[in-house]
Amino acid sequence: MSKPTPRKIVLKGRGVTGGVAEGEALVSPRPLMGWGMVNEKMGYTTEEGHPLFEVPFKGRVLVFPGMRGSGGFVMYGRTRAFDTHPAAFVYTRGNSVMYFASMNAKVPTVTDLDKDPVEFIETGDWVKVDGDKGVVEIIKKA
Amino acid sequence: MLQLNTEEQRILDGSHGHMAQKCMEFLVAYGEAAGAERLVDIDGTVDIHPNSVSWVGDFPITQEEIEELARKGEKFKVPTYANKPVNPGLIIDGWETCGTRPNNDPDYHNKCMQNLKPLIQMGMVPTLSCDYYLVSTFWPTQGQHCSWGESSAIPWCNAVLGARTNFDGCFQAAYLGRIPYYDLHVPENRLATIRVESESVLQSDMEYDLFGWAVGEFCGMDVPAIVGVGSPKINQLVKMNSALCTGGQVRMYHIVGVTPEAPTLEATKKSPKWAKQAAIGRKELRAAYELLNTAKTDEVDFVYLGCPHYSIEEVQKVAWLLEGKKCRISTWVMTNPATYRLAEMMGYRAMIEGAGANLLSGTCACELRGECPPTDVFATDSAKQAYYIKGHAHPKELGVCYGTTEDCVKAATTGTWQGEWRDT
């Protein structure tokens, strides 16, 4: 009996910040918020009622639709100073403050993909993010 | 790929000096991350947050560098306004009696004010507020390119004035008078893809605040065309903008017949069909109200008013509500430094302080990160402050009462929350 081949999906988009990284996906169906709503020392959101409330993102590929709220969203990038930063960012659509977060985190980031990453990636999938080529490879969890 | 013109390339090569080169290196890195194809000259205005004038750690602008530039007589290239100081927040007026450290320490205050001087020498107007636009006495006009950096202010620039900005106000933009041209600088990205109808004409400031929250949640980063709200007052637009960029990230919107790029609904449409439509009524406003009201008890111990920083009309309202009364709990009324002067001239500072409350300027409870009177139940009339303060307090379980300004003043003088909408 042959092992089933893990299902692989490739999404193509635009690299925001370069480099290549991989890790287990952590997917937020809802936008993320910064300022008081992220604890950069603990590396998680402090937004009560949010699906990722207190879920650490360190070393994960953080996949989310976008941000809302304050420019304090850059604190997602300043997690780098506390070594709690994600391995990579994949967001459906970016804005200036999200680009600044990526530049601060210094991790690969891809956005503007041909398909909505929040729909195609599930928490637990293995995801490789190539910020140089703007490509996201997803190995679906078994 | 970002293309620079000859002049910009020369700046990048260092022929305009080291600081110009550093600033251009940031604009190039940012422009490339954003997918911008070029830079644009800023013919409008810029705002910067003192103490945090650059967005990205790899492109720092230090206090020493700013002092050196000021000593050499260098100036910002475009009109530049001070947002609230951040990291940490700073009380500009009223610090002497705020009762919290380190802001009530004269040495701390004087040192922080001293640090602002080189930026002011370079031309930064010390408006020192999140709603600096209310007192700047100078606005960009329709179509001008800007670089603003405050979530609640971005829709003021884009939607209310019809000028054009992304969320990127910084030292580098002020120094070079340039910013990447993409997103909301581009006319077609300013058109609406969503139609939002208010089921009834909005009346109170709180209704505008809650409406902003609901529209923000529905729209995310997209541009809505709003119909049916009526004719908002200035304070109501300030509140709505703040909530639009808390519940969501609505940096641009149209109110048909009110905002400058919306003479008709048809003129706002990006394509013949709306991507999404919503009718927002009492049910949605009520849901936002419930979300913001999290206190399990009516016993309030701290009232915070002034998010965004109160206008003179709002300070006046609170002063008159408090006149001749006594606050039973800590009560802060926050405005911007320019409005603080007006409030002093009009006797409102005396009225507010006479009632045992504090009139302050330049920061907010959230920005002070816990440097407030101790609180377990916090009351405010701002959706933005009500929502964020819980995150700032985390892991402590802070209860929040959200309601009208009148509800908050009543809580200040009685210590008890009796929100007008609570049981309706």
Domains in chain A, CATH or no CATH each: 8-139 (3.50.30.10)
Q: Are B280 and B199 in contact (CB under 8 A)?
A: yes
Q: Are B55 and A101 in contact (CB under 8 A)?
A: no
Residue A131 DSSP code: T
Report the gap between the CA of B288 and the closest CA in chain A (Å): 14
The pair of structure tokens assigned to B330 is 């800590």
Give the pLDDT score at B65. Answer: 98
Q: Are A16 and B29 in contact (CB under 8 A)?
A: no
Other Cβ atoms closer than 10 A to B347 = 12
pTM for this entry: 0.97
Q: Alpha-carbon dihedral of residues B178, B184, B186, B191, nearest 10 degrees? A: -160
CB-based contact B220 A99, cutoff 8 Å: no
Q: Are B80 and B125 in contact (CB under 8 A)?
A: yes
| Mode of pairing for the β-strands spanning B178-181 and B38-41 | antiparallel
Residue A6 DSSP code: P
- Mean pLDDT score, A93-105: 98
Give the pLDDT score at B272. Answer: 97
Q: Is the model's pLDDT at A116 over the cut of 80? A: yes
B residues 312-371 closer than 8 Å to A (CB): 366, 369
Whether residue A2 lies in the annotated active site: no
Beta bridge partners of A10: A137
**Residues B98, B103, B109: CA angle, nearest 5 degrees:** 120
- pLDDT band for position A2 (cuts 50, 70, 90): low
Spatial separation of the C-alpha atoms in residues B101 and B3, rounded to whole Å: 49
Spatial separation of the C-alpha atoms in residues B220 and B228, rounded to whole Å: 20
Residue B152 DSSP code: T
Residue A8 DSSP code: E
Spatial separation of the C-alpha atoms in residues B301 and B331, rounded to whole Å: 9
Enumerate the residues of chain B whose CB falls inside 8 A of the CB of residue A66.
Answer: 220-221, 249
The answer to which of A1-10, A129-138, B210-219, B317-326 has the lowest mean pLDDT is A1-10
Distances (CA, A) of B148 to B42, B169, B177, B357: 11, 4, 12, 32
Give the pLDDT score at A6. Answer: 74
CB-based contact A71 B149, cutoff 8 Å: yes
Enumerate the residues of chain A whose CB falls inside 8 A of the CB of residue B58.
Answer: 103-104, 106
The pair of structure tokens assigned to B134 is 């209310």
Give the pLDDT score at B353. Answer: 98
DSSP letters spanning B285-338: HHHHHHHH---SSSB--EEEEEEEEEPHHHHHHHHHHHTT---SSEEEEEE-HH
Enumerate the residues of chain A whose CB falls inside 8 A of the CB of residue B247.
Answer: 68
Q: Name the active-site residue from A28, A70, A96, A102.
A: A70
Structural domains of chain B, with CATH? 6-187 (3.30.499.10), 191-290 (no CATH), 293-414 (3.30.499.10)
Other Cβ atoms closer than 10 A to B60 = 12
- Mean pLDDT score, A118-125: 97
Report the gap between the CA of A127 and the closest CA in chain B (Å): 21
Nearest to B342, CA basis, from B359, B366, B327, B364: B359
CB-based contact A95 B249, cutoff 8 Å: yes
Give the pLDDT score at B424. Answer: 63
Spatial separation of the C-alpha atoms in residues B285 and B211, rounded to whole Å: 6
Q: Residue by residue, what is the 3-state secondary structure of B234-266?
A: HHHHHHHHHHHHHHCCCCCCEECCCCCCCCCHH
Q: Is the model's pLDDT at A93 over the cut of 70? A: yes
Q: Walk along chain B (424 residues) and give the pLDDT tens digit of each residue.
A: 899 999 999 999 999 999 999 999 999 999 999 999 999 999 999 999 999 999 999 999 999 999 999 999 999 999 999 999 998 899 999 999 999 999 999 999 999 999 999 999 999 999 999 999 999 999 999 999 999 999 999 999 999 999 999 999 999 999 999 999 999 999 999 999 999 999 999 999 999 999 999 999 999 999 999 999 999 999 999 999 999 999 999 999 999 999 999 999 999 999 999 999 999 999 999 999 999 999 999 999 999 999 999 999 999 999 999 999 999 999 999 999 999 999 999 999 999 999 999 999 999 999 998 899 999 999 999 999 999 999 999 999 999 999 999 999 999 999 999 998 876 6
Q: Alpha-carbon dihedral of residues B214, B217, B219, B221, nearest 10 degrees? A: 130
Residue whose pair of structure tokens reads 């193509």 in the numeric block: A12
Give the pLDDT score at A3. Answer: 67
